[in-house]
């Protein structure tokens, strides 16, 4: 597998660490330590927790799901339990309220937490939104407006789909220096998909697009064919969600890593997506989420362009929490929620993020 081996091992290592966190969280819960930990941390640190979700499906192991399963944040039942916990033990907040606190120079309420979704999958509407509505919760949905316009699947999802769907045999991806024998369905195929996605995101934007387009042509699997398991929401669905109290923000136009684009194209992603949200939803988007959101997905130039476009805040995908006292609010950290999390781990991550949240990892080109 060559250069892929280290990334596959890293993924396996993360899963092992996750299992350890789950066990420690369960033990802490049984010993009744979480309330004490929350209370102590509240005294020591005033910060904001922002949860990051992608997809909520009926199951975290859907039958015949030929896409990146790591984007499934929770099952419907688990998501309902998670949101109910937020209602009981934390202070759910909207971004409009967070910005009001900044404007007024007020501290955020203790144990504040915000819920966000990236990309704009239609299961956000079908599965997550009814649960949020039932529990009188709000969430911010960061959408890639070009995909809402066209209904086309996201490029990284389609790359994962092609890798999941192609038959066993030789796989050659010269753009990332990979030539290997592709195994059949199973854990090794999933690990390879995760590794390829990680390495592809380290490339410049043009090379990423060329790799995906070449595979589409080679496998005769054009994105235009689509798939029911990976559809964006529609504007009408987003209108319904907004009317019920949900917030909508920008995730660019085409879900491209902004720091890897030429300056003019990068600025257009920020401006055009905000204009689309104004045109379709009648809102002036204040908040965006950087697509992919790692350290290589945005930089000072992107932040400057975001400010110029009219945004007041931006969320990264770097793990952690943020304070309102920081110099600016365009590097807001989040706490990723992923499908391996049980309720003990979820509560522990919210109670003591420094110990129980995921660790951000840098990609190597």
Write the pLDDT tens digit of every residue in 333-360. 999 999 999 999 999 999 989 888 887 7
335 in Cβ contact with 349 (< 8 Å)? yes
Per-residue pLDDT, 273: 98
260 in Cβ contact with 225 (< 8 Å)? no
Query: Are 215 and 239 contained in the same domain?
Result: no
Per-residue pLDDT, 6: 39
For the chain, which residues score pLDDT lower than 50?
A: 1-13
**Crossing angle of the two packed helices 187-200 and 4-30, in degrees rounded to 10:** 110
Query: Are 104 and 119 contained in the same domain?
Result: yes
Query: Are 167 and 299 contained in the same domain?
Result: no
115 in Cβ contact with 51 (< 8 Å)? yes
Domain range for 181 is 155-194+204-225
Tell how strand 140-143 and strand 112-119 pair up: parallel
Kindly report whether the global pTM for this prediction surpasses the value 0.85.
yes
Residue 262 lies in a domain: yes
Write the pLDDT tens digit of every residue in 210-267. 999 999 999 999 999 999 999 999 999 999 999 999 999 999 999 999 999 999 999 9
Residue 35 lies in a domain: no
Query: Are 235 and 289 contained in the same domain?
Result: yes
Tally of structural domains, the chain: 2
Residue 116 lies in a domain: yes
Per-residue pLDDT, 328: 78
Per-residue pLDDT, 138: 98
Per-residue pLDDT, 5: 40
d(CA 232, CA 147): 6
Compute φ and ψ for 3, nearest 5 degrees.
-65, -15
């Amino acid at each position: 597998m060559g250069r892929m081996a280290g990334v596959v091992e890293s993924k396996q290592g993360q899963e092992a660490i996750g299992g350890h966190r789950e066990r420690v969280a369960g033990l802490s819960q049984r010993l009744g330590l979480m309330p004490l930990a929350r209370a102590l941390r509240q005294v020591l640190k005033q910060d904001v927790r922002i949860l990051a979700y992608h997809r909520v499906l009926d199951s975290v192991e859907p039958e015949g799901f030929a896409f990146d399963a790591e984007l499934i944040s929770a099952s419907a039942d688990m998501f309902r339990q998670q949101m109910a916990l937020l209602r009981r033990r934390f202070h759910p907040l909207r971004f409009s309220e967070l910005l009001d606190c900044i404007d007024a120079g007020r501290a955020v309420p203790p144990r504040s937490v915000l819920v966000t979704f990236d990309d704009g999958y239609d299961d956000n509407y079908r599965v997550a939104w009814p649960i949020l509505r039932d529990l009188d919760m709000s969430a911010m949905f960061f959408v890639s407006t070009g995909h809402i316009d066209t209904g086309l699947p996201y490029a990284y999802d389609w790359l994962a789909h092609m890798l999941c769907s192609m038959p066993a045999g030789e796989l050659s991806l010269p753009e990332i220096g990979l030539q290997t024998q592709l195994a059949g369905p199973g854990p090794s195929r999933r690990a390879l998909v995760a590794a390829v996605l990680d390495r592809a995101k380290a490339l410049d934007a043009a090379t990423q697009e060329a790799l995906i387009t070449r595979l589409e042509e080679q496998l005769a699997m054009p994105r235009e064919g689509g798939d029911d398991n990976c559809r964006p929401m529609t504007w009408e669905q987003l209108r319904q969600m907004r009317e019920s109290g949900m917030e909508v923000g920008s995730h660019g136009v085409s879900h491209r890593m902004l720091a890897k684009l030429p300056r003019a194209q990068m600025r257009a992603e920020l401006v055009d997506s905000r204009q689309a949200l104004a045109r379709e939803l009648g809102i002036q988007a204040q908040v965006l989420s950087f697509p992919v959101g790692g350290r290589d997905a945005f930089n000072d130039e992107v932040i400057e362009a975001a400010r110029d476009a009219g945004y007041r805040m931006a969320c990264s995908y770097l793990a952690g929490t943020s304070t309102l006292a920081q110099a600016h609010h365009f590097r807001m950290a989040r706490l990723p929620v992923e499908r391996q999390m049980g309720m003990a781990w979820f509560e522990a991550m919210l109670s003591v993020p420094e110990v129980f949240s995921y660790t951000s990892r840098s990609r190597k080109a």
